């Protein structure tokens, strides 16, 4: 009998060095090949796609499904209950478009423009609090609460509840002890059920009430889809925006020449934010995908049902796509990026995210010309997550 040679162990690139700075790892993987069979921190095998051309194509490849029903290797990610799992990130085009239409009116550019004054007001309020103390953690005093207030306004969720909810989401991405993720998901599920029950009894003029009406009056979505949409709006409406405000400010502080230019020419803030989306966006991966048939990516054949991760952060530093990709340059001519998605899964809240980040950074630069780090750069701590590169804290002094 011929003995089979055991398969080599899968590489584990997501280690502590990666959490501190993921980009050297991506550079090494891109140079070694476009697609790699690796293991996630929990041991799950996945295919990691690293080059921009392949990542961009994968985002619109209809053979790559986001529906976990097509997974044959048991990968479940967060293992969400059905009432949280029927959201736009996990649904393929037909149902995706049906649900997207129900919530899109709350995020149209026209509706977002009506929020401009409110976003500026909230940013000013948190800047006032920062001015009172002189030195503080910018994450907890400014970057974290600002988008929570705005998304809370849309859903009529109090700021205190939004902060609690955001803490549970953070535990999903970077659990601090065994069982922390499952515990946080349980809290999220119960909170949303209670919130929807209360709003159903006492509807108001907000997005959640309109979704409940769509569920109850026209049966245009199931109860699980209703709860899942509320979950996604609260999570996606705050998570990445929070971290790009803090990570974006840190990027500017690390590049004083760009910061000086931006202070002298504040009208360049929209261009600066687009470069921040490419250079410093916290979201490392697109939502996992599962081939519905064997697919070839970058010359590598991937079997049906395996898990594919499209590495957005790696694509954004691909030198075959961006000249000098590790250079932060607000004057970069080509500012296209994949941070907000591509194709049918393009971020529903893109206009709102842009408004919040531009307003937040403009407020900080305008109010605090002496803003600086309050600790050495090397003392900054990052979330231990392969999914998002996010600061735990950003101690600043306003000068």
Tens of pLDDT, residue by residue over 17-42, are 999 999 999 999 999 999 999 999 98
Q: What pLDDT was estimated at residue 3?
A: 47
State the pTM of this model.
0.90
Cβ distance 71 to 302 under 8 Å?
Answer: no
Q: What pLDDT was estimated at residue 218?
A: 61
Given a cut of 70, whether residue 191 has pLDDT beyond it is yes
* Residue 261: band (very low, low, confident or very high) from pLDDT cuts 50, 70, 90: very high
* Residue 2: band (very low, low, confident or very high) from pLDDT cuts 50, 70, 90: very low
Mean pLDDT along residues 188-195: 89
Mean pLDDT along residues 141-169: 86
What token pair was written down for 80? 């969400």
Average pLDDT, the chain: 89
Does 30 map to a domain?
Answer: yes
* DSSP letters spanning 4-15: PPPPPPPB---S
Does 222 map to a domain?
Answer: yes
Does 10 map to a domain?
Answer: no
* Residue 10: band (very low, low, confident or very high) from pLDDT cuts 50, 70, 90: confident
Q: Which residues contact 278 (CB under 8 A, 6 or more apart)?
A: 316, 322, 332, 335, 337, 339
Query: Among 72-76, 269-273, 373-377, which is the least confidently predicted range?
Result: 72-76
Does 9 map to a domain?
Answer: no
Does 393 map to a domain?
Answer: yes
- CA–CA gap between residue 5 and residue 30 (Å, rounded): 27
Segment holding 308, helix H or strand E: strand 308-310
Does 7 map to a domain?
Answer: no
The total of structural domains in the chain comes to 1
Segment holding 395, helix H or strand E: strand 395-397
How confident is the model over 101-128, as pLDDT tens digits?
Answer: 777 776 778 888 888 999 999 999 999 9
Domain of residue 320 covers 16-397
Does 362 map to a domain?
Answer: yes
What token pair was written down for 391? 């600061």
Mean pLDDT along residues 341-346: 86
How confident is the model over 35-61, as pLDDT tens digits?
Answer: 999 999 988 999 999 999 999 999 999
CATH code, domain carrying 318: 1.10.630.10
Does 4 map to a domain?
Answer: no
Query: Among 255-259, 272-276, 349-353, 359-363, which is the least confidently predicted range?
Result: 349-353
């Amino acid at each position: 009998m011929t003995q089979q040679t055991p398969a080599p162990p899968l590489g584990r690139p997501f280690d502590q060095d990666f959490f501190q700075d993921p980009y050297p790892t991506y550079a090494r993987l891109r140079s070694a090949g476009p697609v790699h069979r690796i293991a996630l921190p929990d041991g799950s095998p996945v295919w990691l796609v690293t080059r921009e051309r392949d990542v961009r194509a994968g985002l619109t490849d209809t053979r790559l499904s986001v529906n976990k029903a097509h997974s044959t290797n048991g990968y479940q990610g967060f293992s969400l209950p059905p009432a949280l799992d029927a959201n736009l990130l996990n649904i393929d085009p037909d149902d995706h478009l049906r649900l997207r239409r129900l919530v899109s009116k709350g995020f149209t550019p026209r509706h977002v423009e009506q929020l401009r004054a409110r976003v500026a007001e909230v940013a000013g309020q948190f800047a006032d609090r920062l001015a009172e103390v002189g030195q503080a953690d910018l994450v907890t005093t400014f970057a974290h609460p600002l988008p929570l207030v705005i998304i809370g306004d849309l859903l009529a969720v109090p700021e205190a509840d939004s902060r609690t909810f955001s803490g549970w989401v953070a535990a999903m991405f970077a659990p601090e002890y065994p069982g922390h993720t499952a515990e946080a998901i349980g809290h999220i599920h119960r909170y949303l059920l209670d919130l929807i029950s209360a709003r159903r009894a006492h509807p108001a003029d907000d997005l959640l009430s309109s979704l409940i009406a769509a569920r109850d009056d026209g049966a245009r979505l199931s109860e699980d889809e209703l709860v899942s949409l509320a979950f996604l709006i609260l999570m996606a409406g705050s998570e990445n925006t929070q971290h790009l405000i803090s990570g974006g400010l840190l990027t500017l502080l690390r590049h004083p020449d760009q910061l000086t230019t931006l202070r002298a020419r504040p009208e360049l803030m929209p261009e600066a934010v687009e470069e921040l989306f490419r250079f410093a966006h916290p979201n490392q991966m697109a939502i996992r995908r599962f081939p519905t048939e064997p697919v070839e990516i970058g010359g590598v054949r991937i079997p049906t049902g395996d898990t594919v991760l499209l590495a957005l952060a790696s694509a954004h530093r691909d030198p075959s796509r961006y000249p000098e990709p590790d250079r932060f340059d607000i004057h970069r001519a080509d500012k296209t990026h994949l941070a907000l998605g591509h194709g049918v899964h393009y971020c529903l809240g893109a206009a709102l995210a842009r408004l919040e980040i531009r307003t937040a950074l403009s407020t900080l630069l305008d109010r605090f010309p002496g803003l600086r780090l309050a600790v050495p750069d090397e003392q900054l701590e990052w979330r231990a997550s392969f999914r998002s590169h996010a600061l735990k804290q950003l101690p600043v002094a306003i000068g």
